[in-house]
Structure 1
Amino acid sequence: MLPFQVNDAIQLKLIKPQDRDELYSLFDLNRVFLREWLLWVDKRQSPDDLDAVIEVWTRNYEENNGFDAGVWFNQELVGMIGLHYIDWRNKATSIGYFLSESSQGRGIVTTAIEKLITYLFNDLKLNRVIIQCAENNIRSRAIPEKLGFVNEGTSRQAQWLYDHYENIVTYSLLSSEWQECVSK
């Protein structure tokens, strides 16, 4: 599936060892911005910290168990989209994402996820996709809301984020809902 050409400007590509330094630079340049919502930011203190994680991402992809892909916009790495563990028995998965601060507001992630959802439902024949966002992360929540995901509810204090708990909102979209939305 990867690389996945979203449109002329956006491409999703599997993160490979040769992307390590570029990915680390993206993390480092956006560290303060990303740290507001993402727990793993402090664990990435040098490019070497990415070696083991890139191996896991590669293995997951090879085992048909999701992926962690870089989001390239006009051939610049600007973020990532992760298709987490695929529950093949229940035909379900979840999506996570982040985008650099300077790339916000251009519809990059929304466009990429919209195309990805079509692939997940039409090609992989999945039935359910979940996106979870911190309750106060309005920009992140706007993506599933714009794409027609259903707000299933809020898990109170579900994630410890450095020095406080965050409420987590769970959104889901079913294949039948997506097909209905696309046909309109």
Structure 2
Amino acid sequence: MFKHIIDQDVELRLLDNHHAEVIFQSIDSCREHLREWLPWVDGTKTVEDTKSFIEMTKKQFASNEGFQTGIWYQGEFAGIIGYHGINWANKSVSIGYWMDERYIGKGIMTKACKAFVDYAFYGYKLNRVEIRCAQGNDKSRAIPGRLGFHEEGIIRESEWLYDHYVDHVVYGMLDREWK
């Protein structure tokens, strides 16, 4: 099983079926926190829903379209980070992530995101990495800012979030800028 150790506290693990329970418990325990910015929370009602997500990520990995990992902090599940399908024709990808609210503010997601950007450029040899965040999601937006991404613009009413649209801020990083 793939495991990437970032430092003594943080590691990334490819998602597998035996992670479903702990992932679901994390989602369920901080549902209100996650629901503020993520449109899939209400659709995740059971461990079986989480297993279906994990199966989808396995297919993504098997078809060479990227992958999703669990983020583990001091041995505890803390969140998920992954690639939204790789665009091989344009050598680009976007990164998505979420974190259990108990682990916010420890620099964990910034470290995980840096590892994903490194892999996009050095492993996959891509040219562009993008991160999109809802305009009001300051904590999520701080991550590409800390990593030196360029704020490239706003996509108005980009995502339907339960009862309203949110604008997305687009951040981009090119291979030559990362090096």
> What TM-score do you get using the length of structure 2 for normalisation?
0.96
1:28 and 2:28 equivalent?
Answer: yes
1:104-149 CA distances to partner (integer Å, 9 max, x unpaired)? 1110010111122122212221110000000000000000011111
**1:61 paired residue number:** 61
1:12 and 2:2 equivalent?
Answer: no
> What TM-score do you get using the length of structure 1 for normalisation?
0.94
1:85-113 CA distances to partner (integer Å, 9 max, x unpaired)? 01112111010001111101110010111
Three-state SS of the structure 1 residue aligned to 2:19 is helix
Deviating beyond 2 angstroms after TM superposition, the runs of 4 or more aligned structure 1 residues are: none
Counterpart AA for 2:159: Q
Counterpart AA for 1:95: I
- The offset of 1:6, in angstroms, is 1.3
**1:182 paired residue number:** none
**1:178 paired residue number:** 178
d(CA) in 2 for partners of 1:155 and 1:113?
22
1:51-94 CA distances to partner (integer Å, 9 max, x unpaired)? 22211111111222111211000110010001110111211101
Comparing 118-127 with 140-149, greater Cα deviation is found at: 118-127
d(CA) in 1 for partners of 2:138 and 2:53?
28
1:45 and 2:39 equivalent?
Answer: no
1:8-61 CA distances to partner (integer Å, 9 max, x unpaired)? 211111111111111100000010000000000000111111222211111111
d(CA) in 2 for partners of 1:116 and 1:61?
14
Counterpart AA for 1:3: K
Three-state SS of the structure 1 residue aligned to 2:13 is strand
d(CA) in 1 for partners of 2:124 and 2:70?
20
d(CA) in 2 for partners of 1:4 and 1:111?
12
1:140 and 2:150 equivalent?
Answer: no
Number of positions where the alignment pairs a residue of Structure 1 with one of Structure 2: 179
Three-state SS of the structure 2 residue aligned to 1:8 is coil
**1:125 paired residue number:** 125
Three-state SS of the structure 1 residue aligned to 2:51 is helix
Counterpart AA for 1:142: A
Give 5+ residue unaligned stretches, structure 2.
none
d(CA) in 2 for partners of 1:170 and 1:2?
30
Comparing 63-72 with 20-29, greater Cα deviation is found at: 63-72
**2:90 paired residue number:** 90
**1:156 paired residue number:** 156
Between the two proteins, what is the percent identity of the paired residues?
A: 41
d(CA) in 2 for partners of 1:154 and 1:7?
34
Counterpart AA for 1:134: A
d(CA) in 2 for partners of 1:108 and 1:99?
9
Counterpart AA for 1:162: Y
Three-state SS of the structure 1 residue aligned to 2:65 is coil
CA RMSD of aligned residues (A): 1.2
